[in-house]
Structure formats: C-alpha cells, structure tokens
Structure 1
Amino acid sequence: MTARRALACLVLCVSAIAGLGSTSVRADEPSYTLLSFDDLNGWAADDMSAALVAFNGTCDLIEGAEWPQLCALAKTGIEARAFFELFFRPVLIEDGTPMLFTGYFEPELDGSRFRTERFRYPLYRKPADLGTRDGYFTRREIEAGALAGRGLELVWVDDPVELFFLQVQGSGRIRFADGSGMRVGYAAANGHPYRSIGQELVRRGVFDIHQVSAQVIRTWVRNNPYEGAELLRSSPSFVFFREYRNLGSATGPIGAMNRPVSAMRTVAVDPAYTPLGAPVWIEKSGGLNRLMVAQDKGSAIKGAQRADIFFGSGDAAGEAAGTIKDGGRMVVLLPIQTAYALCEDVSG
C-alpha cells in the first residue's frame, strides 16, 4: 500500500477482532482506517526493541486465534522492526471523539506496618462482604470507621492526599523506616463512581480548568485541611489493595493483564476498542512518537482515541505524568489477516 493511502471502514464484522463490540451497525459505532507504516509519523526513527520486550511480556494472554503463532515468532530472536512490519498492519480506530493522552505512574509513599501517631491513614484489604450487599460503604463512610475493627488494614501511611492519589493510580510502593518496602496493587473497588476532584474544584470556581493539575490539587488540599478533606470525600469511590510479595524493585507494577507494565512502553486503553496486549503506535502532541503496548486499562480511560501513558515509579515520574493532557493520534497494530478481513468484509 502506498503512503497516505487509506481504506476507511465502518464496522460490520467486528467479531473479526476479539472484544471489539457487536456485529450490528449503529450510527455511533467506530470507524476503522487501514494505514501503511509510511503513514505513521516517526515510525522509522523509533527503537522497537523495548516495545518487543514489553509485547513478549503479555503476548500469551491476548485473546484471539491469530495471536499464538505471532507470540511464538516474537520469541525467536527476530529483529523487532522486521517482526512488527512483517506480521502487522496499522489500523486507526475512531469514534468521533478527539484523542486525549494522559499519564499515570506508580507512587512511592512513606508508611508503617503498624498504626502510629504519624502513620494513621490505612490502606485496606478487600473486605469479604464486598459484593454481597447493595450499596457498599462510600469513601465518606469508610473514613468515618465503617471498616474499623475488622483487621483489614494492610499498611498505614502519613498523608491522606497521597493515599487518595494512590487509589487513583491503582498501585504503589510503600517505604518503611528500616529501609524495607512493600508493593501494593489494586484488589477491588467499592462499586461507587469515581468523581474528578479537579473538575469539582473547577465547578466550585476555585480554579479554571487550565490551572488544574495533580500538584495544584495536592497544594490546595494541604493548605485547606477541612475543605480539602471534604473535597476528597466528594468522590465516593474507594479502592482496596493487595500486597505483591514477589515483585523486584526494578519491575513495574502489575497491570490489568496481571503482569508487570513497562515505563514509557505501556499504555492503558479502553479494551472495548483496543485488544489488551496489542501493540499501539502513539503520536502525542508535544513530541512523543513511539511504539507501545496496550497492557492496562482504567475506569477513566473510555473511547477509541483515549490512552494513559505509564511514566514509571516515584516522584519524578509523577511530576512528568501529571503534566500530560495532550492530543494526537493512537494507531493499533493488528495481525495482517485481522486488519484486512475487517475492511474486506465491510467493503464486500
């Protein structure tokens, strides 16, 4: 296929791609455009080797009959660029909503295995009765003591603001005074919707939308303790955690595929449009053109052109991730037969 030539396809046979919607056509269904690698800005300049390593980490978990053979080929020592160009084709999936890239990271918090005067804010394990009753406890009710006395405290931290952001990120590292640490990750949620506290500050007239960032929120909550605590409670969602005992310090946190994710090579996507484990090419406004792997998902990541880039662990990664709110384009790499069959069935 020549550069800039594309086939725009409305979905009729989305069953050709595992997990991508239904087989009936509705006005709001996504469109699919088959591209060539020449259409991808910066494709020739990217080092694909790190992307291939990330891809191999979760390839065996991808759903679909086309993937096992590709996964076997990926582990033969084949050169990374040759692998992706020989066995995949780029597909642009759009649903009418502009692209939005954001960033996430793995926070590091100071903590204690026991409650102290300083460390008095708990991370909770998943309660046994979660899901057995309608309308589980809200954040406000849990913070008021609804789970106290049940032995669910996993670890204690000293900063309620960082604890809130840890729940938003879904995974983190806890540092203890003796130099040891704990890796924690998402176990479950209470079933209530997450409400953006940044948007709530805008709604209240405290900030304009362009002023809001993670650091701005942290500073405002700390400078306004009572109002800040109430702001955090305005989101009724609450996340429960589990400890990961066998993750090395150099390993990324566990993502939605129950495998470690990779800094600057993992993106969280909406699995309704993009198969988890698939390679994706991102072109982010501001200058980041790179092959990544769709290895994670999130409750706020909804839509065909929506992605959250994993920036890594610690404060520096958090500062970088917190500044990302950019447009651009995301293109999914699909097995050749899947990419062509999708369009051929529509056009035929």
Structure 2
Amino acid sequence: MSTSRHWRRLSLCIVPLFALLAACNGGKSTPPPAATYQPSSWEALPATSDADLVAGFQAWLGSCVRLGKDPVWAAPCAAATQVAVAPQAIKDFLRSSLQVYSLRSPTKGDQGLITGYYEPVYPGSLVRTERDTVPVLGVPDDLIVVSLDSIYPELKGKRLRGRLDGHVLKPYDDAASISAGSTQAPALAWLGSAMDLQFLQIQGSGRIQLDNGRQLRIGYADQNGYPYKPIGRWLVEQGQLKQEEVSMGKIRQWAEAHPQRVAELLASNPSYVFFSVRPDSNEGPRGSLNVPLTPGYSVAIDRKVIPLGSLLWLASSRPDGSTLNRPVAAQDTGGAIAGEVRADLFWGTGDAAGELAGNMKQAGQIWLLWPKGAPLPKIN
C-alpha cells in the first residue's frame, strides 16, 4: 500500500477524469522514456543470507494463489509448491525456472529509489465521541467507477471516477470538500486526529485501537479519482521544511506546531481514500494482489513497469545504512510508487515498523526474476 510518501493502496489504475479525457483527446504531452529490462545473470545478484532467501521465496509463493491461472506463472507456481523449504532447493528451483533481468532507467541506469510503508495503529472508536471526531469513511453510494479498457485496450487497468449530475459524469469531490462533509459516505469508525486519517490514507490500510481492546482492521476500498500530491512537498514549497527533512515524523511535528494551518496542509492533497472493514486476523494487510503482505519481503511497485505478482531481487540498505539484499514479492501498488527502478518495502505493523518506513529513502537496484521462455512484460 506506502506510506510513506506512498499512497499505498491507490492502485495505479486511478486516473483523474480530466487528465484521462485529455489523453483520450490526443493531448500532446510527451511520455517519459520507458524503463528497460537488460538480461543479466545469477552471478550478478548481490549475495543474501539463507534466512532472507527462504523468507523472500515463501512470501512470493503466497502470490501463486493469485497467479496459478496466469499462463506466464502457472507452470513455475505449480513447480514452486513442490520445492522443499531449504536454501539449496530454492536456489536450484530459481536457477532452473527463472531468468534474471536488470531493471534500468533511461536516465539513471540501474540506480533507483527504495522507500517503505507500514500498517499504522491509531486510537479511535466506532461512534463519534468528544475525543474522536474525524470519520474514517467507507465508499459513498454515488461514487461511479468506469472501466475503459473494453473500449480502449491501451488503457487497460485505468478507470474514471466521478459522480452523476443528471446524465453527465463529473469529477468527484476533492479531499477538502469531502472532509467538509460534502459526501454521504458511511463512517466506519472515528479518529481523534485529522493527521492520523491522512497518514492512514497514505499507508492505505491500518488498525484502529478501540477502548475495549479490539483492533478494527480497515483497508483501501476505493478513491475519489484525484492524483495524490504529497503533503511533504507542499511543506517544502511553502518553505516550512527542507527537502531532506521530509518524513512522517517531521510532518506530524509541523502539524502539531501549526494547528491553524493543518486544514490548508491537508487540502494541498486532493486525493481521498475510502476504506472497508477487513476481517480480524493476525496476518498482514492485503495488498493489490489480494494476498497478505509479509513484513520485509513484500513490496509495492509501479505496475506499468513491473507486473504485479513478480519475484524481484532487491539490493538496497536500511535507514541505518546496513545492507538489505534479498528476494521480494511484488504484491502491492501505489499511486506515488511511479518510475523505473522503484519499490516501496512493507515493514509491518505498529510504531517500530512506522519508524523504519518513515526513514526509508534509500538508493537501490532491482532485478526481475522472470519465467524462462516467457515473453518479457511490456512496459507502458
């Protein structure tokens, strides 16, 4: 989902109505150069520990629940289920079934950006109280979602979002209007802080700690159709923070010091996420692939570049500078996870995971491990 500078659950199929119509009408903007896959070798991959190899492989194996009928992955997934949970057996399977491609940017080569996200836990309630006055909204009944790929195959996965005004589909309300009460969306729960809600939307899923001890799990259900604009960028543009200072902690500190400007800060991001209640469970939140995310081994990617469900090899570092080389599973997407060599690593649930995610902004490389003999995915 991410955090995290990452509008985690905002599927990249989300396109603002006016932008998509401009594209359909022959807009003259020049698309950026596409990323490329360069054939590589197993020897080119940085070494990882046996523990990371096993954990990364098992995280990806969970993707096969959704990939089993994919003609590209059906055979490798079937074979993977028979592999013993042992480092050498996994290495033998990977080398015999998959081939290695280096993901490369036309401008920065194999260098990219690795960030992080997590599942936050915020105090709240199921009803509005004197303390909890900020609603966590479900999907409004008047939100219309239109898939376009049946008519425009080149727009596969892209959707329009809006509401009907008579017989005309118009853009849905922006975040500021929704926060002011313009929609009749149901309130699933209530939080005590507008900043908690903003960070919950950025991460795309989370838990609400109720007074009775239960944690209500919620996840991304839909979105209002506007592009995500980082609130940290607005603070930089306003001269409130320096670019290198931007983090979730710094943003929250600024909001606490300037309560009179919080509404203005939040209004700078017109995108708004609607949630749904998820079953109580100890498993990780579900990403765009609809499988539970594994802390440290699931990533959100730009599905225009990397196919959802892919097995990747990541070479980066933790915020403290220690090495982070391992296989990871592309099981999630995010509206802010855009670009060639780009991934958002899921760190888990709670404050410790949030600390890692909030400070994660590392250089990194990505390799795609792709089934042998299968045509390479097309980069849009």
TM-score by length of 2: 0.78
When residues 195 and 64 of structure 1 are mapped into structure 2, their CA distance, relative to the original with a 3 A threshold, is: same
Amino acid at match of 2:94: F
Give the equivalent residue in structure 1 for 2:103: 93
Give the equivalent residue in structure 1 for 2:359: 323
Give the superposition deviation at 1:27: 8.9
Give the equivalent residue in structure 2 for 1:115: 128
Give the equivalent residue in structure 1 for 2:295: 263
Give the equivalent residue in structure 2 for 1:22: none
When residues 161 and 70 of structure 1 are mapped into structure 2, their CA distance, relative to the original with a 3 A threshold, is: same
Amino acid at match of 1:84: L
Q: Structure 1 residue aligned with 2:259, among 201, 225, 233? A: 225
Amino acid at match of 1:187: A
When residues 125 and 92 of structure 1 are mapped into structure 2, their CA distance, relative to the original with a 3 A threshold, is: same
Please give the alpha-carbon distance, in whole angstroms, between the structure 1 residues aligned to 2:301 and 2:226: 21
Give the equivalent residue in structure 1 for 2:71: 65
Amino acid at match of 1:52: F
- RMSD between aligned alpha carbons? 1.9
SS of 1:93's partner is: strand
The percent identity for this pair of structures is 38
Give the superposition deviation at 1:46: 5.7
Question: Does residue 93 of structure 2 align to residue 83 of structure 1?
Answer: yes
Give the equivalent residue in structure 2 for 1:200: 234
SS of 1:218's partner is: helix
Amino acid at match of 2:281: G
Please give the alpha-carbon distance, in whole angstroms, between the structure 1 residues aligned to 2:116 and 2:326: 15
After superposition, what is the alpha-carbon deviation per residue over 1:152-180, rounded to whole angstroms, capped at 9, x for unaligned?
00000112111100001100011111111
Give the equivalent residue in structure 2 for 1:36: 41
CA contact (8 A) 2:62 2:291 kept: yes
After superposition, what is the alpha-carbon deviation per residue over 1:22-53, rounded to whole angstroms, capped at 9, x for unaligned?
xxxx9923322111111011246563221222
Please give the alpha-carbon distance, in whole angstroms, between the structure 1 residues aligned to 2:238 and 2:185: 37
Give the equivalent residue in structure 1 for 2:167: none
Give the equivalent residue in structure 2 for 1:21: none
Give the superposition deviation at 1:127: 0.5
SS of 1:48's partner is: helix
Give the equivalent residue in structure 1 for 2:16: none
TM-score by length of 1: 0.85
SS of 2:216's partner is: strand
CA contact (8 A) 1:284 1:327 kept: yes
SS of 1:292's partner is: strand
After superposition, what is the alpha-carbon deviation per residue over 1:70-101, rounded to whole angstroms, capped at 9, x for unaligned?
11111113332222222111111223254011
- Pairwise mapping of residues 47-62 of structure 1 onto structure 2 (< 5 A)? 47-62=52-67
Structure 1 unaligned blocks of 5 or more: 1-25, 344-348
Q: How many residues align?
A: 312
- Pairwise mapping of residues 1-348 of structure 1 onto structure 2 (< 5 A)? 28-43=33-48, 47-62=52-67, 64-78=70-84, 79-96=89-106, 97=108, 98-131=111-144, 132-133=163-164, 134-147=170-183, 150=184, 152-245=186-279, 247-249=280-282, 251-285=283-317, 286=321, 287-338=323-374, 342=376
SS of 2:253's partner is: helix
